[in-house]
Structure 1
Protein backbone atom coordinates (compact mmCIF):
# COMPACT_ATOMS: atom_id res chain seq x y z
CA UNK A 1 0.00 0.00 0.00
CA UNK A 2 2.79 2.39 0.92
CA UNK A 3 4.55 1.66 -2.35
CA UNK A 4 1.39 2.52 -4.30
CA UNK A 5 1.01 5.83 -2.44
CA UNK A 6 4.66 6.73 -3.11
CA UNK A 7 4.24 5.81 -6.77
CA UNK A 8 1.14 8.00 -7.09
CA UNK A 9 2.88 10.94 -5.39
CA UNK A 10 5.88 10.55 -7.67
CA UNK A 11 3.67 10.57 -10.74
CA UNK A 12 1.89 13.69 -9.50
CA UNK A 13 5.20 15.48 -8.99
CA UNK A 14 6.35 14.47 -12.46
CA UNK A 15 3.12 15.77 -13.98
CA UNK A 16 3.48 19.08 -12.14
CA UNK A 17 7.06 19.40 -13.35
CA UNK A 18 6.07 18.71 -16.93
CA UNK A 19 3.26 21.22 -16.65
CA UNK A 20 5.70 23.85 -15.40
CA UNK A 21 8.16 23.11 -18.18
CA UNK A 22 5.46 23.30 -20.80
CA UNK A 23 4.10 26.66 -19.62
CA UNK A 24 3.16 28.96 -22.48
CA UNK A 25 5.59 31.94 -22.42
CA UNK A 26 2.93 34.19 -23.95
CA UNK A 27 0.74 33.73 -20.86
CA UNK A 28 3.43 34.36 -18.24
CA UNK A 29 3.58 37.57 -16.23
CA UNK A 30 7.15 38.87 -16.35
CA UNK A 31 7.22 40.95 -13.20
CA UNK A 32 4.38 43.19 -14.39
CA UNK A 33 5.13 42.94 -18.13
CA UNK A 34 3.38 40.71 -20.61
CA UNK A 35 4.90 38.78 -23.45
CA UNK A 36 3.31 41.14 -25.96
CA UNK A 37 4.71 44.22 -24.24
CA UNK A 38 8.24 42.84 -24.31
CA UNK A 39 7.85 41.80 -27.92
CA UNK A 40 6.44 45.20 -28.84
CA UNK A 41 9.45 46.96 -27.30
CA UNK A 42 11.82 44.93 -29.48
CA UNK A 43 9.73 45.43 -32.62
CA UNK A 44 9.53 49.19 -32.06
CA UNK A 45 13.30 49.32 -31.65
CA UNK A 46 13.78 47.50 -34.95
CA UNK A 47 11.40 49.89 -36.69
CA UNK A 48 13.19 52.97 -35.31
CA UNK A 49 16.60 51.63 -36.31
CA UNK A 50 15.47 50.77 -39.82
CA UNK A 51 13.74 54.06 -40.50
CA UNK A 52 16.19 56.50 -38.86
CA UNK A 53 17.72 59.09 -41.15
CA UNK A 54 21.32 60.20 -41.17
CA UNK A 55 20.46 63.31 -39.17
CA UNK A 56 18.62 61.22 -36.59
CA UNK A 57 21.56 58.83 -36.41
CA UNK A 58 23.93 61.73 -35.80
CA UNK A 59 21.59 63.03 -33.12
CA UNK A 60 21.46 59.64 -31.40
CA UNK A 61 25.24 59.28 -31.51
CA UNK A 62 25.65 62.74 -29.97
CA UNK A 63 22.93 62.27 -27.34
CA UNK A 64 25.32 61.36 -24.54
CA UNK A 65 23.28 58.23 -23.78
CA UNK A 66 25.91 55.49 -23.75
CA UNK A 67 23.43 52.66 -24.31
CA UNK A 68 21.73 54.44 -27.23
CA UNK A 69 25.05 55.33 -28.85
CA UNK A 70 26.20 51.74 -28.45
CA UNK A 71 22.97 50.41 -29.97
CA UNK A 72 23.15 52.66 -33.05
CA UNK A 73 26.82 51.84 -33.60
CA UNK A 74 26.23 48.09 -33.29
CA UNK A 75 23.26 48.30 -35.66
CA UNK A 76 25.41 49.88 -38.38
CA UNK A 77 28.00 47.13 -37.97
CA UNK A 78 25.47 44.30 -37.84
CA UNK A 79 23.51 45.22 -40.99
CA UNK A 80 26.55 45.61 -43.25
CA UNK A 81 26.38 43.04 -46.03
CA UNK A 82 23.18 41.36 -44.83
CA UNK A 83 21.05 42.45 -47.78
CA UNK A 84 17.53 43.85 -47.75
CA UNK A 85 15.12 43.53 -44.87
CA UNK A 86 12.66 40.66 -45.27
CA UNK A 87 10.64 40.32 -42.07
CA UNK A 88 10.74 39.94 -38.31
CA UNK A 89 11.52 36.43 -37.19
CA UNK A 90 11.02 34.53 -33.97
CA UNK A 91 10.78 36.32 -30.61
CA UNK A 92 11.90 34.51 -27.46
CA UNK A 93 11.90 35.36 -23.75
CA UNK A 94 14.28 33.58 -21.37
CA UNK A 95 14.49 34.00 -17.60
CA UNK A 96 17.72 32.87 -16.01
CA UNK A 97 18.21 33.66 -12.35
CA UNK A 98 17.95 37.42 -11.88
CA UNK A 99 18.14 38.17 -15.60
CA UNK A 100 15.42 38.31 -18.24
CA UNK A 101 16.58 38.15 -21.86
CA UNK A 102 14.43 39.02 -24.88
CA UNK A 103 15.67 38.13 -28.36
CA UNK A 104 14.10 39.32 -31.60
CA UNK A 105 15.29 37.73 -34.82
CA UNK A 106 15.39 40.05 -37.83
CA UNK A 107 15.42 38.29 -41.19
CA UNK A 108 17.48 39.89 -43.96
CA UNK A 109 18.13 38.54 -47.42
CA UNK A 110 21.66 37.22 -46.83
CA UNK A 111 21.73 36.51 -43.10
CA UNK A 112 19.61 37.16 -39.99
CA UNK A 113 20.38 39.72 -37.29
CA UNK A 114 19.57 39.27 -33.60
CA UNK A 115 18.37 42.12 -31.37
CA UNK A 116 18.78 41.33 -27.66
CA UNK A 117 17.30 43.13 -24.65
CA UNK A 118 18.69 42.25 -21.20
CA UNK A 119 16.66 43.19 -18.11
CA UNK A 120 17.26 42.86 -14.38
CA UNK A 121 14.21 40.79 -13.49
CA UNK A 122 13.35 42.05 -10.00
CA UNK A 123 12.86 45.66 -11.20
CA UNK A 124 12.76 45.14 -14.99
CA UNK A 125 15.50 47.72 -15.47
CA UNK A 126 17.09 47.59 -18.90
CA UNK A 127 20.74 46.61 -18.52
CA UNK A 128 21.91 46.23 -22.12
CA UNK A 129 20.82 46.17 -25.76
CA UNK A 130 22.90 44.41 -28.39
CA UNK A 131 22.58 43.83 -32.12
CA UNK A 132 24.62 41.10 -33.78
CA UNK A 133 24.65 39.41 -37.15
CA UNK A 134 23.96 35.70 -36.74
CA UNK A 135 26.96 33.66 -37.79
CA UNK A 136 26.64 30.60 -39.95
CA UNK A 137 27.81 27.22 -38.70
CA UNK A 138 30.92 27.45 -40.88
CA UNK A 139 31.80 30.86 -39.44
CA UNK A 140 31.31 29.60 -35.91
CA UNK A 141 33.56 26.61 -36.59
CA UNK A 142 36.19 28.85 -38.17
CA UNK A 143 36.19 31.23 -35.21
CA UNK A 144 36.37 28.32 -32.79
CA UNK A 145 39.33 26.86 -34.68
CA UNK A 146 41.11 30.23 -34.73
CA UNK A 147 40.54 30.70 -31.01
CA UNK A 148 41.85 27.20 -30.35
CA UNK A 149 44.96 27.76 -32.44
CA UNK A 150 45.59 31.11 -30.80
CA UNK A 151 45.26 29.60 -27.35
CA UNK A 152 47.58 26.72 -28.22
CA UNK A 153 50.08 29.15 -29.74
CA UNK A 154 50.13 31.25 -26.58
CA UNK A 155 50.61 28.14 -24.43
CA UNK A 156 53.50 26.85 -26.55
CA UNK A 157 55.12 30.29 -26.64
CA UNK A 158 55.01 30.48 -22.84
CA UNK A 159 56.41 26.95 -22.52
CA UNK A 160 59.28 27.78 -24.89
CA UNK A 161 60.03 30.95 -22.95
CA UNK A 162 60.07 29.04 -19.66
CA UNK A 163 62.36 26.41 -21.20
CA UNK A 164 64.80 29.08 -22.38
CA UNK A 165 64.84 30.70 -18.96
CA UNK A 166 65.53 27.36 -17.27
CA UNK A 167 68.33 26.55 -19.73
CA UNK A 168 69.94 29.94 -19.11
CA UNK A 169 70.40 29.08 -15.43
CA UNK A 170 73.34 26.75 -16.18
CA UNK A 171 75.20 29.54 -17.98
CA UNK A 172 74.56 31.90 -15.10
CA UNK A 173 75.94 29.33 -12.65
CA UNK A 174 79.05 28.92 -14.80
CA UNK A 175 79.70 32.65 -14.84
CA UNK A 176 79.17 32.83 -11.11
CA UNK A 177 81.56 29.91 -10.47
CA UNK A 178 84.20 31.44 -12.72
CA UNK A 179 83.98 34.75 -10.87
CA UNK A 180 84.40 33.01 -7.51
CA UNK A 181 87.46 31.10 -8.77
CA UNK A 182 89.04 34.28 -10.09
CA UNK A 183 88.59 35.98 -6.74
CA UNK A 184 89.99 32.98 -4.84
CA UNK A 185 93.08 32.47 -7.05
CA UNK A 186 96.22 34.28 -5.62
CA UNK A 187 97.89 36.83 -7.78
CA UNK A 188 100.84 35.38 -9.70
CA UNK A 189 104.22 36.69 -8.56
CA UNK A 190 106.22 38.56 -11.11
CA UNK A 191 109.46 36.71 -12.03
CA UNK A 192 112.67 38.20 -10.66
CA UNK A 193 114.85 39.48 -13.44
CA UNK A 194 118.37 37.99 -13.55
CA UNK A 195 121.24 40.43 -12.86
CA UNK A 196 123.93 40.98 -15.49
CA UNK A 197 127.27 39.14 -14.86
CA UNK A 198 129.21 42.40 -14.29
CA UNK A 199 126.76 43.46 -11.60
CA UNK A 200 126.94 40.06 -9.93
CA UNK A 201 130.80 40.21 -9.88
CA UNK A 202 130.72 43.71 -8.39
CA UNK A 203 128.33 42.56 -5.67
CA UNK A 204 130.55 39.53 -4.95
CA UNK A 205 133.70 41.73 -4.71
CA UNK A 206 131.94 44.12 -2.37
CA UNK A 207 130.84 41.20 -0.24
CA UNK A 208 134.48 39.96 -0.05
CA UNK A 209 135.73 43.38 1.08
CA UNK A 210 133.09 43.57 3.75
CA UNK A 211 133.95 40.05 4.88
CA UNK A 212 137.69 40.91 4.97
CA UNK A 213 136.98 43.95 7.11
CA UNK A 214 134.96 41.85 9.51
CA UNK A 215 137.72 39.20 9.73
CA UNK A 216 140.40 41.87 10.30
CA UNK A 217 138.37 43.41 13.08
CA UNK A 218 137.94 40.01 14.70
CA UNK A 219 141.67 39.27 14.52
CA UNK A 220 142.58 42.68 15.93
CA UNK A 221 140.18 42.20 18.77
CA UNK A 222 141.52 38.76 19.63
CA UNK A 223 145.21 39.76 19.46
CA UNK A 224 144.85 43.18 20.97
CA UNK A 225 146.43 44.87 17.96
CA UNK A 226 145.21 47.40 15.44
CA UNK A 227 143.90 46.59 11.98
CA UNK A 228 146.62 48.86 10.60
CA UNK A 229 149.34 46.39 11.58
CA UNK A 230 148.19 43.58 9.25
CA UNK A 231 146.33 43.09 6.00
CA UNK A 232 143.83 40.34 5.11
CA UNK A 233 144.71 39.44 1.55
CA UNK A 234 142.49 36.48 0.84
CA UNK A 235 139.69 34.47 2.35
CA UNK A 236 139.12 30.83 1.51
CA UNK A 237 135.56 29.61 1.92
CA UNK A 238 135.14 25.96 2.89
CA UNK A 239 131.54 25.54 1.93
Structure 2
Protein backbone atom coordinates (compact mmCIF):
# COMPACT_ATOMS: atom_id res chain seq x y z
CA UNK A 1 0.00 0.00 0.00
CA UNK A 2 2.89 2.36 0.75
CA UNK A 3 4.27 1.78 -2.75
CA UNK A 4 0.93 2.64 -4.30
CA UNK A 5 0.78 5.86 -2.33
CA UNK A 6 4.36 6.69 -3.28
CA UNK A 7 3.47 6.43 -6.96
CA UNK A 8 0.52 8.76 -6.51
CA UNK A 9 2.65 11.17 -4.52
CA UNK A 10 5.20 11.24 -7.35
CA UNK A 11 2.37 12.19 -9.70
CA UNK A 12 1.36 14.99 -7.35
CA UNK A 13 4.90 16.36 -7.33
CA UNK A 14 4.54 17.02 -11.05
CA UNK A 15 1.71 19.42 -10.29
CA UNK A 16 4.30 21.98 -9.20
CA UNK A 17 5.81 22.14 -12.69
CA UNK A 18 2.40 22.00 -14.31
CA UNK A 19 0.48 24.51 -12.16
CA UNK A 20 1.25 27.43 -14.45
CA UNK A 21 -1.04 26.02 -17.11
CA UNK A 22 -4.20 26.37 -15.04
CA UNK A 23 -7.05 23.90 -14.42
CA UNK A 24 -8.31 21.25 -16.79
CA UNK A 25 -11.47 23.20 -17.55
CA UNK A 26 -9.28 25.91 -19.16
CA UNK A 27 -7.24 23.48 -21.26
CA UNK A 28 -9.31 23.92 -24.40
CA UNK A 29 -8.24 27.57 -24.63
CA UNK A 30 -4.50 26.85 -24.28
CA UNK A 31 -2.06 27.24 -27.17
CA UNK A 32 0.67 24.93 -28.36
CA UNK A 33 2.82 25.76 -25.34
CA UNK A 34 0.35 23.94 -23.10
CA UNK A 35 0.40 20.76 -25.17
CA UNK A 36 4.16 20.92 -25.45
CA UNK A 37 4.53 21.16 -21.67
CA UNK A 38 2.22 18.18 -21.05
CA UNK A 39 4.04 16.12 -23.68
CA UNK A 40 7.40 17.09 -22.20
CA UNK A 41 6.31 16.02 -18.69
CA UNK A 42 5.16 12.66 -20.06
CA UNK A 43 8.30 12.19 -22.12
CA UNK A 44 10.96 13.29 -19.67
CA UNK A 45 9.49 12.53 -16.23
CA UNK A 46 6.64 10.01 -16.20
CA UNK A 47 7.26 7.48 -18.99
CA UNK A 48 11.07 6.94 -18.80
CA UNK A 49 10.92 6.01 -15.12
CA UNK A 50 7.89 3.71 -15.29
CA UNK A 51 8.33 -0.01 -14.59
CA UNK A 52 6.15 -3.08 -15.01
CA UNK A 53 5.82 -3.41 -11.24
CA UNK A 54 4.52 0.14 -10.99
CA UNK A 55 2.00 -0.51 -13.76
CA UNK A 56 0.68 -3.55 -11.89
CA UNK A 57 0.35 -1.47 -8.74
CA UNK A 58 -1.47 1.30 -10.59
CA UNK A 59 -3.91 -1.22 -12.07
CA UNK A 60 -4.76 -2.40 -8.55
CA UNK A 61 -5.50 1.09 -7.23
CA UNK A 62 -9.18 1.94 -6.93
CA UNK A 63 -10.32 4.03 -9.87
CA UNK A 64 -11.87 6.72 -7.64
CA UNK A 65 -8.63 7.23 -5.72
CA UNK A 66 -6.61 7.26 -8.96
CA UNK A 67 -8.90 9.83 -10.57
CA UNK A 68 -8.81 11.95 -7.45
CA UNK A 69 -5.03 12.06 -7.38
CA UNK A 70 -4.82 12.86 -11.09
CA UNK A 71 -7.35 15.67 -10.66
CA UNK A 72 -5.42 17.17 -7.73
CA UNK A 73 -2.21 17.05 -9.74
CA UNK A 74 -3.99 18.98 -12.53
CA UNK A 75 -2.44 16.65 -15.09
CA UNK A 76 -4.78 16.11 -18.08
CA UNK A 77 -4.71 12.32 -17.75
CA UNK A 78 -7.15 9.52 -17.06
CA UNK A 79 -6.22 6.25 -15.34
CA UNK A 80 -6.76 4.39 -18.62
CA UNK A 81 -4.72 6.76 -20.79
CA UNK A 82 -1.88 6.83 -18.29
CA UNK A 83 -1.66 3.05 -17.84
CA UNK A 84 -2.02 2.34 -21.58
CA UNK A 85 0.63 4.95 -22.40
CA UNK A 86 2.97 3.34 -19.88
CA UNK A 87 2.40 -0.14 -21.35
CA UNK A 88 3.05 1.11 -24.87
CA UNK A 89 6.21 2.84 -23.73
CA UNK A 90 7.61 -0.33 -22.13
CA UNK A 91 6.82 -2.34 -25.27
CA UNK A 92 8.66 0.24 -27.38
CA UNK A 93 11.68 0.13 -25.06
CA UNK A 94 12.00 -3.63 -25.60
CA UNK A 95 12.38 -3.04 -29.34
CA UNK A 96 14.12 0.34 -29.46
CA UNK A 97 16.24 0.21 -26.31
CA UNK A 98 16.74 2.88 -23.66
CA UNK A 99 15.40 6.36 -24.30
CA UNK A 100 18.15 8.93 -24.91
CA UNK A 101 16.37 12.12 -25.95
CA UNK A 102 14.00 13.75 -28.43
CA UNK A 103 13.83 16.49 -31.02
CA UNK A 104 11.46 19.41 -31.57
CA UNK A 105 7.70 19.08 -31.26
CA UNK A 106 5.29 19.36 -34.17
CA UNK A 107 1.57 20.06 -33.81
CA UNK A 108 -1.35 18.77 -35.87
CA UNK A 109 -4.57 20.47 -34.85
CA UNK A 110 -8.03 19.36 -36.00
CA UNK A 111 -11.56 20.18 -34.91
CA UNK A 112 -11.61 17.70 -32.05
CA UNK A 113 -8.01 16.53 -31.61
CA UNK A 114 -4.49 17.76 -31.13
CA UNK A 115 -1.57 15.50 -32.01
CA UNK A 116 1.86 16.45 -30.67
CA UNK A 117 4.74 14.54 -32.28
CA UNK A 118 8.48 14.42 -31.90
CA UNK A 119 11.33 12.22 -33.08
CA UNK A 120 12.63 10.11 -30.18
CA UNK A 121 16.20 8.91 -29.97
CA UNK A 122 16.64 5.44 -28.48
CA UNK A 123 19.60 3.13 -27.96
CA UNK A 124 18.87 0.72 -30.81
CA UNK A 125 16.70 2.68 -33.24
CA UNK A 126 14.84 5.98 -33.48
CA UNK A 127 11.07 6.20 -33.20
CA UNK A 128 8.29 8.71 -33.75
CA UNK A 129 6.49 9.58 -30.50
CA UNK A 130 2.96 11.00 -30.71
CA UNK A 131 0.64 12.28 -27.98
CA UNK A 132 -3.05 12.59 -28.91
CA UNK A 133 -5.28 15.00 -26.95
CA UNK A 134 -9.07 15.25 -27.21
CA UNK A 135 -11.07 18.47 -27.56
CA UNK A 136 -10.91 19.11 -23.81
CA UNK A 137 -7.13 18.90 -23.79
CA UNK A 138 -7.02 15.50 -22.03
CA UNK A 139 -4.39 13.04 -23.16
CA UNK A 140 -6.07 10.10 -24.89
CA UNK A 141 -3.16 7.99 -26.07
CA UNK A 142 0.58 7.76 -26.59
CA UNK A 143 2.09 5.92 -29.54
CA UNK A 144 5.71 5.03 -30.26
CA UNK A 145 6.38 4.03 -33.87
CA UNK A 146 9.88 2.61 -34.46
CA UNK A 147 11.69 3.71 -37.61
CA UNK A 148 12.99 0.85 -39.74
CA UNK A 149 15.59 0.95 -42.49
CA UNK A 150 14.60 -0.09 -46.01
CA UNK A 151 16.54 -3.33 -45.62
CA UNK A 152 14.66 -4.19 -42.42
CA UNK A 153 11.32 -3.40 -44.03
CA UNK A 154 12.11 -5.60 -47.01
CA UNK A 155 13.34 -8.37 -44.72
CA UNK A 156 10.13 -8.32 -42.69
CA UNK A 157 8.04 -8.20 -45.86
CA UNK A 158 9.97 -11.17 -47.25
CA UNK A 159 9.53 -13.17 -44.06
CA UNK A 160 5.81 -12.41 -44.00
CA UNK A 161 5.51 -13.48 -47.65
CA UNK A 162 7.40 -16.71 -47.04
CA UNK A 163 5.31 -17.44 -43.96
CA UNK A 164 2.07 -16.79 -45.83
CA UNK A 165 3.03 -18.88 -48.86
CA UNK A 166 4.37 -21.64 -46.63
CA UNK A 167 1.08 -21.80 -44.76
CA UNK A 168 -0.91 -21.93 -48.00
CA UNK A 169 1.23 -24.71 -49.50
CA UNK A 170 1.14 -26.69 -46.26
CA UNK A 171 -2.66 -26.59 -46.28
CA UNK A 172 -2.77 -27.57 -49.97
CA UNK A 173 -0.43 -30.51 -49.38
CA UNK A 174 -2.57 -31.68 -46.49
CA UNK A 175 -5.72 -31.45 -48.62
CA UNK A 176 -4.00 -33.37 -51.44
CA UNK A 177 -2.99 -36.07 -48.96
CA UNK A 178 -6.58 -36.40 -47.73
CA UNK A 179 -7.85 -36.65 -51.32
CA UNK A 180 -5.26 -39.36 -52.13
CA UNK A 181 -6.63 -41.49 -49.30
CA UNK A 182 -10.14 -41.45 -50.74
CA UNK A 183 -9.24 -44.20 -53.25
CA UNK A 184 -9.02 -46.65 -50.36
CA UNK A 185 -12.57 -45.96 -49.19
CA UNK A 186 -14.30 -48.36 -51.69
CA UNK A 187 -11.85 -51.11 -50.76
CA UNK A 188 -12.54 -50.62 -47.09
CA UNK A 189 -16.29 -50.65 -47.72
CA UNK A 190 -15.99 -53.87 -49.78
CA UNK A 191 -13.86 -55.49 -47.08
CA UNK A 192 -16.32 -54.63 -44.32
CA UNK A 193 -19.36 -55.70 -46.39
CA UNK A 194 -17.62 -59.04 -47.26
CA UNK A 195 -17.01 -59.76 -43.60
CA UNK A 196 -20.64 -59.07 -42.80
CA UNK A 197 -21.86 -61.45 -45.54
CA UNK A 198 -19.55 -64.22 -44.31
CA UNK A 199 -20.81 -63.75 -40.77
CA UNK A 200 -24.43 -63.98 -41.96
CA UNK A 201 -23.74 -67.19 -43.98
CA UNK A 202 -21.89 -68.79 -41.09
CA UNK A 203 -24.70 -67.98 -38.68
CA UNK A 204 -27.32 -69.40 -41.07
CA UNK A 205 -25.43 -72.65 -41.53
CA UNK A 206 -24.87 -73.01 -37.80
CA UNK A 207 -28.57 -72.61 -37.13
CA UNK A 208 -29.74 -74.88 -40.00
CA UNK A 209 -27.34 -77.76 -39.29
CA UNK A 210 -29.01 -79.15 -36.15
CA UNK A 211 -32.45 -79.12 -37.76
CA UNK A 212 -31.87 -82.09 -40.14
CA UNK A 213 -31.03 -84.70 -37.49
CA UNK A 214 -34.04 -83.69 -35.42
CA UNK A 215 -36.42 -84.22 -38.34
CA UNK A 216 -34.75 -87.53 -39.28
CA UNK A 217 -34.89 -88.84 -35.73
CA UNK A 218 -38.49 -87.82 -35.42
CA UNK A 219 -39.44 -89.68 -38.65
CA UNK A 220 -37.61 -92.86 -37.57
CA UNK A 221 -39.27 -92.82 -34.16
CA UNK A 222 -42.76 -92.49 -35.70
CA UNK A 223 -42.09 -95.42 -38.09
CA UNK A 224 -40.94 -97.72 -35.24
CA UNK A 225 -44.01 -96.90 -33.24
CA UNK A 226 -46.23 -97.65 -36.25
CA UNK A 227 -44.49 -101.03 -36.81
CA UNK A 228 -44.98 -101.94 -33.17
CA UNK A 229 -48.68 -101.07 -33.31
CA UNK A 230 -49.23 -103.07 -36.53
CA UNK A 231 -47.28 -106.06 -35.18
CA UNK A 232 -49.45 -106.10 -32.05
CA UNK A 233 -52.62 -105.94 -34.15
CA UNK A 234 -51.50 -108.85 -36.34
CA UNK A 235 -50.54 -110.94 -33.31
CA UNK A 236 -53.92 -110.31 -31.68
CA UNK A 237 -55.79 -111.20 -34.84
CA UNK A 238 -53.87 -114.36 -35.71
CA UNK A 239 -52.97 -115.56 -32.23
CA UNK A 240 -49.28 -115.54 -33.15
CA UNK A 241 -46.47 -114.20 -31.05
CA UNK A 242 -44.85 -110.95 -32.25
CA UNK A 243 -41.52 -112.78 -32.23
CA UNK A 244 -42.81 -115.29 -34.81
CA UNK A 245 -42.92 -112.72 -37.63
CA UNK A 246 -41.11 -109.54 -38.69
CA UNK A 247 -42.70 -106.47 -40.28
CA UNK A 248 -40.09 -105.24 -42.75
CA UNK A 249 -42.00 -102.54 -44.61
CA UNK A 250 -45.25 -100.65 -44.39
CA UNK A 251 -46.98 -99.33 -47.52
CA UNK A 252 -50.28 -97.55 -47.75
CA UNK A 253 -52.75 -98.94 -50.28
CA UNK A 254 -54.19 -96.53 -52.85
CA UNK A 255 -57.74 -97.30 -51.76
CA UNK A 256 -59.16 -96.36 -48.41
CA UNK A 257 -60.53 -99.90 -48.04
CA UNK A 258 -58.54 -102.53 -46.21
Q: Distance in 2 between matches of 1:219 and 1:141?
A: 120
Equivalent residues, number: 187
> Does the CA contact (< 8 Å) of 2:127 and 2:144 recur in 1?
yes
Which residue in the other structure is 1:158 paired with? 171
Q: CA RMSD in A?
A: 4.9
Per-residue deviation at 1:137? Answer: 1.4
Which residue in the other structure is 1:11 paired with? none
Which residue in the other structure is 2:84 paired with? 67
Per-residue CA deviations over 1:200-239 (Å, capped at 9, x if unaligned) read: xxxxxx99xx69x579839948xx5245388457969xxx
Q: Distance in 2 between matches of 1:161 and 1:34?
A: 62
Which residue in the other structure is 1:45 paired with? 42
The unaligned stretches of length 5 or more in structure 2 are 1-27, 60-78, 210-219, 250-258
Per-residue deviation at 1:168? Answer: 4.5
Distance 1:168 1:99, change over 3 A: farther
TM-score (norm 1): 0.51
TM-score (norm 2): 0.49
Verify: 1:103 aligned to 2:101, yes or no.
no
The unaligned stretches of length 5 or more in structure 1 are 1-30, 193-205
Per-residue deviation at 1:184? Answer: 4.3
Distance 1:227 1:34, change over 3 A: farther
Distance 1:36 1:137, change over 3 A: farther
Which residue in the other structure is 2:150 paired with? 137
Per-residue CA deviations over 1:60-109 (Å, capped at 9, x if unaligned) read: 54444523531552353254178x54x515635375x9765443112457
Tell me the SS of whatever aligns to 2:196: helix
> Does the CA contact (< 8 Å) of 1:78 and 1:131 recur in 2?
no
Match among 207, 226, 231 for residue 217 of structure 1: 231
Q: Distance in 1 between matches of 2:34 and 2:229?
A: 137
Q: Which structure is higher in helix share?
A: 2
Match among 67, 71, 77 for residue 94 of structure 2: 77
> Does the CA contact (< 8 Å) of 1:104 and 1:115 recur in 2?
yes
